[in-house]
Structure 1
């Protein structure tokens, strides 16, 4: 197994949670317990997928608020919040509130674009303004300005006996702007994120540039390097952190039944990783399954992984709570150390 150029500095995980439409509370409780376990195991971060009109976490900010009161150290993030569904002013208020409740541990990840299946929901989401809504990068820029404390309006001050008004989003959470992340799947988006002071979330889905060979790892590496170059030359605020998110399924302590279940999951998903998908030639990363030593060896050989010193490994969809406990435990006690990582105190 090759030695890493540097030890893995931060280890996180990403979850879509569990969701039974007939009993959604149980799934949310499972998610909170998984986050608590993550903190106990020394993970640096826990990230929530954001799902609308699906069987998943539709309000990760509310879940992060609950998790912030059941943990004390682990960072909490979204990966990612689709801004097409959000009002930047209201989102800025909610994020700042939860960041203060957590003691400055929130890492909001966002993305742009028209909401998925927009034609089926626009009559409820934007009944009077669907044709005028701007789903471009400008929506995210507005969120960043508001979180940074830029003025919303000129009006402020006292009115009457007790009413006092601010000209910026309240509460203000100092440092939250530097913890904004952008989920980029293309080189254009990676460069934009670097130039505008965002940290970069890379995932298991990417879009190649014209003429690029369909090699997921090589394309991801190029995107990360383009992001860092843009961040270095822009002078924009931000720390230019990069986190990689791949599906990893260590089987060290898995039962025979779990190993069989995990392998079926991977086998069902593997065909989509073999060729580019759709008109934009979308590429999916292969899920990594095996012992922690086997996964570590694959990661060290992965051109994208070679560019980062922090990760947020994605937990597979639709597994059971006990499966997530086993996978997280193996990641923290076996895979993480194999990558040079040490648990947080």
Structure 2
């Protein structure tokens, strides 16, 4: 008991990104560059949505919320990882560790809900365009955003409370570059099999059900698009929907692997690779996916940069 109580008051030790990997410094530098690109891309997208009146629509409001989530998600892990790596320090206080877990699950849960709501927005826009302005009004959009954040906070509070109260009777070394629940569960001296079942159920609520709802929305959208007579309208709908489906696949796919399969089947390296993909690459790719395949966003960017004079006439 003394050993267990003693570790409750001491720091954890983050072993960092792939501790056994040669030339890990190159990978760290690449991740820092990706972080800069992600912050730049999401900030630009937020600014475009803010300054261009044509982007003041429900779809882009929800997209702006997604950019805020991505900015916060990548900023909750990469800076600490980089500071630890270059300073040579590996410790992290229990408070900082709990804070990382709380923000990670809050933002992850919020993103799952947001992606589902964005699919619903596209369903209304394509399948019920005459009712779109009534259904997706400003109040509804605000309530959607609040719901996504509250849902993430509620789930995160439960996960954080449980994880940070796990007894650590032995090594305090976390085989990860940030505090993540599965990594801490592995170093606990308590049987966590029951809680793994709870995590699985939470995965159904925040990953599987959203995925089913998103796929249902896009199945109905596809049926509607196939019956469209206008090739231009069909192409625009498919471009918007394909961007969203790409983001959904990139985010929910790895989440299924991490939180809906037994923790004992994951190696520390596999968990780190999935975490890098979810928390680093996805926040960078999201603004690129939505921008490069979206004429409205590209038009807004060209208008601000002054590189496309004709865009003023088109607006």
Fold conserved between structures, TM > 0.5: no
TM score, norm. by length of structure 1: 0.25
Kindly indicate which of the two structures has a greater share of residues assigned to helix. Answer: 2
Could you say which structure has the larger radius of gyration? 2
Kindly indicate which of the two structures has a greater share of residues assigned to strand. Answer: 1
Higher relative contact order (CA 8 A, sep 6+): 2
